[in-house]
Amino acid sequence: MRKLLVIFIPLLIVFAIPKEYLIPIKALPPEVKVDFPKLSETRIIKERTPISLGQQVGRVDTVFFTTYDWQFNSHIWQRIYNDPGRGVHVTGMTSLLASPWADRNMRYNFYDPAIRTWVFGQSGIDAINARAGFGNLDINPLEGAGVIVGHVAGTQNFIPRIAKDIAPGQGLFDYADCQERFLWPPIAVTNNGWIHVCAVESAPGAFRREDLYYIRIRNWPNPDEPVLIAPRSGEPIAPLGNSQGIFASKSSNKVVIYWTEWGVSGTDSGAYRISTDGGETWSEIIPFPFPPIFTPGSETLPELSISSVGGFFDREDRPNFVLCYTPNIRDTGRIIPVEMWHYVPGRNPELTRICRIMPETLAAPVGYNAVFACRPSIGQNLQNGYLYVVWEQFDPLNYEPTTTLLRADIWGTASMNGGLTWLPPKRITEPDLTSKRFPFLAPVVDDMCWIVYMIDLVAGFYVQNQGPMTQNPFVVHQIPRQYLDETGIAEVKGNKLFTLKIYPNPIRNRAYFSLNLEKETKVNIYLTDLSGRVVMNLLNKNLSAGTHNYQFRTPKELKNGLYFLTIKANNSVERYKLIISN
C-alpha cells in the first residue's frame, strides 16, 4: 500500500485529482494549543498587531514574473493606475532569462472590470519594442490609454522610449523617442495629455549622470528640447545620479519633479520644482523641510535617503509628499529609526508625523539602497478625502539565511482629516519566506486599495550579486480600504461559518489543522500555487458542527515554496498563506 501511495501522489499533484490528504485525528498533540473564540463572537481585530499566521488580507493576483529583481535605484515611481470605469493598468521591469537579461523589458497588464480578469493572463506583454528598463507608467486622461516609458540603447548612449497604447488595455503600442544621452526616465501625464519626462543625463563616453533634465512631448511623437532642472548656477541642492521622481495632476497642468542629493559630505537632503503651466515655466528649487527630530541641537541630524520620497496631487490640486527621515550622526547615515512625515506646502502645519518606526534589534542588514522603512507612495479617495500611504518595511527578525539580508513586507496607514493625524500603521502582507518589495498604491477610486509589488523569493538582489536567480512574481494586491482607515474592533457580519487554525507555519513535513464549524456543512479545502493552479485537493465532504482536527503530511513531491490554502464552507470563503519547507 505504501508503494502505491508513492507511485500515485505525483499524479495527484499534477492533475489535481480529488483526494483527502488530511488525516483525521482525535486530538492535537499536547504542544499544539488552539483557542477558538465562539463563532457568534468572532471579531476582526483592527489594531497594530501581526496578522494571524497564514491568513491573507484581500486578493492577490499574479500579473507577470521576473528574474530581474532589482527594480529601482531610488524612490518609487508610479507602476499602477486605477482608471474608474475603464480598468487598472500595471507595469514592471521583467526578464525571464539570466544575466545579461537579453529579454529585459517593461511588462504590461490590464485588468478589465467588465470581464473581471487580467487581459494578458499571468504573463503580461512587453510594452517596448526593444530591450528596455527602468521606467514607469501613467495614463492619458483624455483617452484612458496607458503610457509606459523605459530607456533603450542608442547609437552611443541611452534613449528614453515612450510607448502609448492605442486604447485602454489593447496592448498595441505606438512609440516616441526622446533625445539620446538620457536614462532612468520616469514620466507623468497632465490633464491636457502632455507627457512629461525627467531623466538623468549620461554624456557620451562619460559616467557623469549628475544633471537632471526635463523633456516634454506636446505633439506626439516629437519631444521638445531638454531643459536643465538641476543643478543650476547658484542654487543649493543638486542631484547626484538617479534620485529623481515625477508626478502630475489629472485636473490641471501642474507637474512636480523632485530629487534627493545623496553620497555627499554632510546630510543628504532633497528638493523639488513645480510647474503650474505644463512645463512652460518652473519654480525655483524648493528644499524639503526638516522637522526637529533625532535630538535637536546635537550632532545627530535628519536626512533623506535615495529611497525616501513619494508624492501626488490631492483633490484640491495641492502637491503632497511623504518623506522618510533617518538620522545622520557625524556624516554617517543610519537606517533606523525612520520618521515618516506628511508634507503639504502651504498647509498649516505643513509637516505632520505619520509614524516613527524603531525596531528593538536587527538580525541582519536591509540591503542595497534602502532604509528600514522606505519607498512610500500616497493616494486619496476622492469621495471622502481620506489619504492612504503604503511602503516597504523590513522585518527585524525575519532574514534570508543564504544572503543574510532581512525580508520585507508591505505596510500602510490612513488619515481621515487631510493628513493632520494618522492611524497606527498596519502590515498588509504576511511575514513568510519571501520579501515583498517596491510597492506602489494606485489612485483610490472605490472601496479597494490596489497595490502592485514584487515578491522576491530570496531576499537580496540577484542583479546585485546578492543571491540566486529566482522567478519572482509581480502581484497586484487588492485590500478593502477600510482595513487601513478603520480602527477598533468590528463585529464580523454575514455568513461566518468557520474558523481555522494551522500549526506550524512554515510547514516542515507535517502540520496540524484544527477546524471549528458553527453548523453541519460541506467543506472544501484545497491548495494552489502562486499562479492559482490547484496542486492538491485536501478535503471535500460534509462535516458536523464542532471542532475537527487533522494531521497534514506534505508529500515529498510538493516543492518548497509559498502556497495558498483555500477553505470553502457554503458561501464562506477564506484563503491562507502556507509555506512548505520540507
Which pLDDT score is estimated for 279? 98
Q: What is the average per-residue pLDDT within 501-516?
A: 81
- Among 14-18, 365-369, 398-402, 569-573, the minimum mean pLDDT is found in 14-18
Counting DSSP H helices and E strands in the chain, the numbers are 2, 42
Q: Which residues pair with 355 in a beta bridge?
A: 340
Mean pLDDT of 486-500: 53
Least confident residue range of 31-35, 214-218, 503-507, 532-536 = 31-35
By C-alpha distance, which of 573, 473, 565, 476 is closest to 119?
A: 476
Three-state DSSP state, 2: helix
Instruction: Over range 335-351, report the average pLDDT.
Output: 97
Alpha carbon 375 to its chain's center: 9
Residue 62: all three cell numbers together = 499574479
Instruction: Name the nearest CA neighbour of 108 among 120, 96, 95.
Output: 120
% of residues, the chain, pLDDT over 70: 87
Residues 128-140 have pLDDT tens digits of 999 999 999 999 9
Confidence category of residue 32, pLDDT binned at 50, 70, 90? low
Whether residue 211 has pLDDT greater than 50: yes
C-alpha to C-alpha distance for 259 and 306, rounded to whole angstroms? 8
Q: Strands of 416-447 (E only): list them.
A: 426-427, 435-441
DSSP character for 482?
A: H
Q: State the burial class of residue 425 (Cβ atoms within 10 Å of its Cβ: 0-12, 13-18, 19+).
A: buried
- pLDDT single digits (tens) 442-453: 999 988 999 999
Check residue 105 and give its pLDDT. Answer: 98
**257-261, 321-325, 332-336, 578-582: least confidently modelled range:** 578-582
- Tens digits of residue pLDDT in 221-240: 999 999 999 987 777 788 87
Q: Kindly report the backbone phi and psi dihedral angles of residue 323, in degrees, each rounded to the nearest multiple of 5, phi listed first.
A: -125, 125
Question: What is residue 290's three-state secondary structure?
Answer: coil
- One-letter amino acid of 539: L
Q: How confident is the model at residue 430 (pLDDT cuts 50, 70, 90)?
A: confident
The answer on pLDDT for 536 being more than 80 is yes
Mean pLDDT of the chain: 86
pLDDT above 50: residue 320: yes
Between 360 and 273, the more confident residue is 273
The C-alpha cell at 472 is 519572482
Q: How confident is the model at residue 214 (pLDDT cuts 50, 70, 90)?
A: very high
3-class SS letters over 220-259: CCEECCCEEEECCCCCCCCCCCCCEEEEECCCCCCEEEEE
How is residue 549 written as a grid cell? 482536527
User: Mean pLDDT over residues 117-124, rounded?
Assistant: 96
Type of residue at 84? P
Domain 59-488: assigned CATH number? 2.130.10.10
Quick check: 481 pLDDT over 70?
yes
The full set of domain ranges for the chain reads 2-43+497-580, 59-488
Give the count of beta carbons closer than 10 Å to the beta carbon of residue 20: 13
Q: From CA 479, how far away is CA 380, in angstroms rounded?
A: 15
The more confidently predicted of residues 111 and 29 is 111
For residue 533, what pLDDT is reported? 77
Contacts of 420 (CB under 8 A, 6+ apart): 352
In the chain, the N- to C-terminal Cα span, in Å, equals 23
Q: For residue 86, what are the β-bridge partners?
A: none
pLDDT of residue 208: 61
pLDDT in tens, 393-419: 999 999 999 999 999 999 999 999 999
pLDDT at position 530 is 65
Which amino acid is located at 371 in the chain?
Answer: V
| 5 three-class SS | helix
**In the chain, % of residues over pLDDT 90:** 62
Query: pLDDT at residue 252 above 80?
Result: yes
Residue 534 has a pLDDT of: 84
Paired with 248 in beta bridges are 255
pLDDT confidence tier of residue 356, bands split at 50, 70 and 90? very high
For 330-382, give the DSSP string.
TTEE---SEEEEEE-TTSSSSEEEEEEE--S--SS---TT--SEEEEEEEE-T
Strands 498-508 and 534-543: unpaired
pLDDT at site 263: 65
SS3 99: coil
Q: Is 491's pLDDT higher than 50? A: no
Mean of pLDDT values over 11-38: 57
Please write the tens of the pLDDT for every residue from 160-206: 999 999 999 999 999 999 999 999 999 999 999 999 999 999 865 55
CB-based contact 194:218 (threshold 8 Å): yes
| Confidence at residue 532, expressed as pLDDT on a 0 to 100 scale | 67
Q: What is the mean pLDDT of residues 209-213?
A: 86
Give dist(CA 359, CA 375) in Å, integer. 18
Q: Grid coordinates in use for 58? A: 484581500
Angle at 32 between CA 30 and CA 38, to 5 degrees: 115
Q: Which of 1, 21, 5, 11 is nearest to 527 (CA)?
A: 21
pLDDT tier at 318, thresholds 50, 70, 90: very high
Whether residue 477 has pLDDT greater than 80: yes
Q: How confident is the model at residue 123 (pLDDT cuts 50, 70, 90)?
A: very high
Q: Does the N-terminal peptide bond of residue 100 adopt cis geometry, omega within 30 degrees of 0? A: yes
503: three-class secondary structure by DSSP: strand
d(CA 231, CA 147) in angstroms, rounded, equals: 28
Q: Specify the fold of 2-43+497-580.
A: Immunoglobulin-like (2.60.40)
Three-state SS at 513: strand
What separation in angstroms does the CA of 477 have from each of 114, 439, 450, 469, 474? 19, 10, 6, 24, 10
For 62-120, what is each residue's pLDDT tens digit?
999 999 999 988 999 999 999 999 999 999 999 999 889 999 999 999 999 999 999 99
Indicate the SS3 state at residue 472.
strand
State whether residue 4 is helix, strand or coil: helix
pLDDT of 521 above 70: yes
